[in-house]
Amino acid sequence: MNKIQSLSGYLHEYQKSVHQPEKFWSRIAESFHWKKPWDQVLSWDFNGPEVKWFENAKLNITENIFERQLFTHGEKTAIIWEPNESDEPALHITYKQLFDKTCQFANTLEAQGVGKGDRVIIYMPMIPEAAVAMLACARIGAVHSVVFAGFSSSALADRINDCEAKMVLTSDGNFRGAKNIPVKAVVDEALEKTNTVEKVIVCQRTKAEVHMEPGRDLWWHEAIKDQDTKHKAATVDSEDLLFILYTSGSTGKPKGVVHTTGGYMVYSQYSFLNVFQYEQNDVYWCTADIGWITGHSYIIYGPLLSGATTLMFEGVPTYPHPGRFWEIIDKYQVNQFYTAPTAIRALQAYGLDPITPYKLDSLKVIGSVGEPINEEAWHWYHDHIGKGKCPLVDTWWQTETGGIMISPLAGITPNKPAHASLPLPGVQPIIVDAEGNELKGNNVEGNLCIKFPWPSMIRTTYGDHKRCKETYFSAYPGMYFTGDGVKRDHDGYLRILGRVDDVMNVSGHRMGTAEVENAINEHPKVIESAVVGFPHDIKGQGIYAYVICDIEGRTEAGLIEEIKDTVRNIIGPIAKPDQVQIVSGLPKTRSGKIMRRILRKVASNDISNLGDTSTLLNPEVVDEIIKGAKTN
Ligand code: WTA
């Protein structure tokens, strides 16, 4: 179904998608089940922005996963679940079983007062119930917002408040490697700062003792007990919200990226099938967490809409040993494996010994996502995991794009190390200079924009449409601005260079510098702070904080630890700064703007060319900062 088979086929499809986008996408959309067809394929105005795909069409995305495919796929494994501990039995859940569980939980949600359009927060470990939770929301037309279960209670509370969630789905605890994380307590703490949540459903996973608030909290297994496993899917509009996913930007507060139903369905499935070249008996594994967009589009929706077998792993790559990923690949004969450069680099650091016991000969395709993959990691992954024979798909995309935008198609697009390569059909990238002039031809470098809508694109930022416009559609009017720098090389292949705004990419996680600064500034001794990213061997980027503080009554080392803990408590462990340098001032321009360029260079240990610092308001602090710099 709609699968490209060759390079000439790709080029042909690409041309069609640019010249007749509506015809192109309607042909692809026709293979799905719509309760009512669309009146118009696309209407759009990037100045609004207002984008509608498959206007007035009616559907339910879960009918496209289940009812549309049960006839052929009912007994096929939908989800293989590999638990944190390798000696705990794995689960193989068929499409029919997943359908029953989804329907049963859809009935449960409705019985607990959740209806169409209501927002449901999912703060859960990587267990099959998390997938069931997402699908059950979609089944009844509720809007899910998955929050990565490593976020702190205040980050969770912010998200609950922003989308005015009615329900939270969580667990009694999370097994993550050797840790048993008490997530229910985090939810309880978050709910003290919110007032919209009526019910909390708690899935039993670790059997840890947890507080259950009478009248508010219910156990998952008890809540589903009397619910039917049949459920009539709600009818939703193509442009009704499917989910909200919060992500960091260059300003302080994370924003709720809104994805709607019809376009997201079509694009997540189409991109999955084509990038990974999935074949019907393959076992596909994406190691992301469902708390990120990669988990949404390429563990759950894309694969399940394609009738694929998708593997879901609860644990971490190094537990109980650094060969765990490779063990799992052999155990289930995984054919497509999709992970992040940070995981590759972390595992590369263990050398080849952890790989030697495994054959890895089932692999046909390996993939990378989340950050630029450096050439060394690319070659290591390609040679030692892909054994030099598997195409490596370096997939560039974003929470906002909903699906993979620029990537080789496995086995079709010639591989070029560290290059995301070519746009998928329907994706029209454009490289612009700082003034927005198009940089045509090859051998050019600039900012990456997209000039034409694609079906799974962001529609708005929840509750604040102006912010959506300002963030993505204002820098270069009439275009979607990605925030990434890009180079088109002499062959016309694209290489993503990384963020050009104040967004860091730490272990593949997006983190706004302002968000970390806001957290640091919450510490009572902190007067002002500036955060920048610096190159980090494993994480891609590390977090470096320059902090002005009142040190009285503290030791410097003690204060630095307190500041790190403050960030951990306010955002979560992923945002904890790697380096904190206490300074007496920050380099500022005469208009009071922090010169981040200088701070970035010092943090990166690259002080040979700091540029002209004489125009600064306080040039003397530069020397002090250089002297006190933490070496990484
Ligand atoms: C970066 C993750 C280089 C990029 C799907 C983007 C990449 C941000 C790649 C989005 C890649 C993602 N090569 N950089 N293959 N994939 N990025 O929203 O900077 O978590 O803007 O989505 O990650 O991160 P997000």
Residue 329 parent element (H or E): helix 324-332
Strand, coil or helix: 377:
helix
Question: Does position 534 have pLDDT exceeding 80, yes or no?
Answer: yes
Query: What is the token pair recorded at 518?
Result: 């806001």
Supply 611's token pair.
């540029």
Position 249 scores a pLDDT of: 82
**Å from CA of 434 to ligand 1 middle:** 21
* 371 Cα to the center of ligand 1, angstroms: 5
Token pair in block for residue 240: 């009704």
Taking only the tens place, the pLDDT of each residue in 77-87 is: 999 999 999 99
| Calpha distance 415→421 (Å, rounded) | 8
What's the gap in Å between 397 CA and the centre of ligand 1?
5
In a domain, 555, yes or no: yes
Q: Is it the case that residue 183 has pLDDT exceeding 90?
A: yes
CATH code for the domain of 587: 3.30.300.30
Q: Which pLDDT tens digit goes with each residue over 333-372?
A: 999 999 999 999 999 999 999 999 999 999 999 999 999 9
Do 567 and 375 touch, CB atoms closer than 8 A? no
Q: Are 119 and 131 in contact, with CB atoms under 8 Å apart?
A: no
What is the per-residue pLDDT across 313-340, written as a single tens digit (0 to 9) for each?
999 999 999 999 999 999 999 999 999 9
Looking at residue 630, its pLDDT comes to 84
Whether 241 maps to a domain, the answer reads no
In a domain, 554, yes or no: yes
The pick from 259, 275, 339, 484 for probing ligand 1's pocket by mutation, whose C-beta has the most ligand atoms within 8 angstroms, reads 484
Task: Look at residue 604 and tell me if it is in a domain.
Answer: yes
Atom of ligand 1 nearest to the CA of 292: 20
Contact 625, 581 (CB under 8 A): yes
From CA 512, how far away is CA 532, in angstroms rounded? 9
Contacts of 275 (CB under 8 A, 6+ apart): 367, 393, 395, 404, 407, 408, 409, 410, 424
Structure-model confidence comparison of residues 193 and 589, the more confident one: 193
Q: Strand pairing of 526-536 and 540-549?
A: antiparallel
Q: Cα–Cα distance between 469 and 48 in angstroms, integer?
A: 7
For ligand 1, atom 8, the nearest C-alpha belongs to: 398
What gap in Å lies between CA 210 and CA 172, rounded to an integer? 6
> Is residue 608 a part of any domain in this protein?
yes
- From the CA of 483, how far away is ligand 1's center (Å)? 10
Ligand 1 centroid to 401 CA: how many Å? 10
Location of structure tokens 């909290």? 217
Q: Is residue 536 included in any domain, yes or no? A: yes
CB contact at 8 A, 541 and 552: no
- Testing ligand 1's pocket by substitution, the residue of 245, 289, 480, 505 carrying the most ligand atoms inside 8 A of its CB is 505
| Residue of 496, 499, 504, 539 with the most ligand 1 atoms within 8 Å of its CB, for mutation | 496
| DSSP β-ladder status, 336-339 and 579-582 | unpaired
HSE value, Cβ hemisphere, 13 Å, CA-based, for 367: 32
What does the block give as tokens for 122?
């999912």
* Residues composing the chain: 632
Give how far Cα 269 sits from Cα of 65, 300, 350, 429, 511, Å. Answer: 10, 10, 35, 21, 28
How many angstroms does the Cα of residue 368 sit away from the middle of ligand 1? 10
Ligand 1 centre and the CA of 14: distance in Å?
A: 22
Q: Is residue 557 part of a domain?
A: yes
pTM of the model: 0.96
Q: Token pair for residue 32?
A: 């799905």
Which domain, by its residues, includes 622? 503-628
* Residue range 29-58: mean pLDDT, rounded: 98
Q: Which of 255, 301, 368, 397 to mutate to test the pocket of ligand 1 (most atoms within 8 A of CB)?
A: 397
Q: Residues 545, 520: contact at Cβ < 8 Å?
A: yes
* Atom of ligand 1 at shortest range from CA of 406: 15
Cα separation, 530 vs 585, whole angstroms? 10
Distance CA 334, CA 332 (A): 5
Domain membership flag for residue 117:
no
* Helical spans, DSSP H, in 122-182: 128-140, 153-163
Mean pLDDT, residues 5-14:
98
User: In total, how many domains does the chain have?
Assistant: 1
pLDDT of residue 377: 96
Ligand 1 centre to CA of 420 (Å) is 11
Q: What residue ranges line ligand 1, CB within 6 angstroms?
A: 247, 292-294, 368-372, 394-399, 420, 482-484, 496, 498-499, 505, 510
Position 613 scores a pLDDT of: 83
Please tell me whether the peptide bond between 408 and the residue prior to it is cis, using omega within 30 degrees of 0: no
What is the C-alpha separation between 48 and 46, in angstroms, rounded?
Answer: 5
Please name the residue whose Cα sits nearest to atom 1 of ligand 1. Answer: 371
